[in-house]
Structure 1
Amino acid sequence: MEGTCRDYYESAEDTDITRDRALQELKAHHFVSEEDIAAFYADLGEREFYRAQDVLRWLGY
């Protein structure tokens, strides 16, 4: 399992994703409450685009 997570994280290198895609990723990882979203924005900012690895790192990859 760890190898799979590592590959997933590494595959996101040099990739930007939209805010909508980032929020979809949070939802897929069960971060859906207003508090979760607020914490995400507090840590990474409320932007139009995010570095995919930053989002995955925030999710604990």
Structure 2
Amino acid sequence: MAHRPLSVLEVQDSADLDALMLDARLAGQVISRLGPTFALLTPGSEKAVLEALRKAGHLPRVVGR
């Protein structure tokens, strides 16, 4: 079985990640919150999560993948 690498999302402020977790369209893309400003994303969700956060005026960053 092949495994896809996971990506870590980093946001500048914990409120940015709070907003993501409250968004019904995107909350399912987060596997786990790793800290106040870091979350582990489901494979393949990076683009949608980044676009949504940027449209909302946030400056997220994805590490890995």
Higher share in strand: 2
Q: Which structure shows the bigger proportion of residues in helix conformation?
A: 1
Give the structure-2-normalised TM-score: 0.38
* Structure of greater relative contact order (alpha carbons < 8 Å, 6+ residues apart): 1
Q: Normalised by the size of structure 1, how large is the TM-score?
A: 0.40
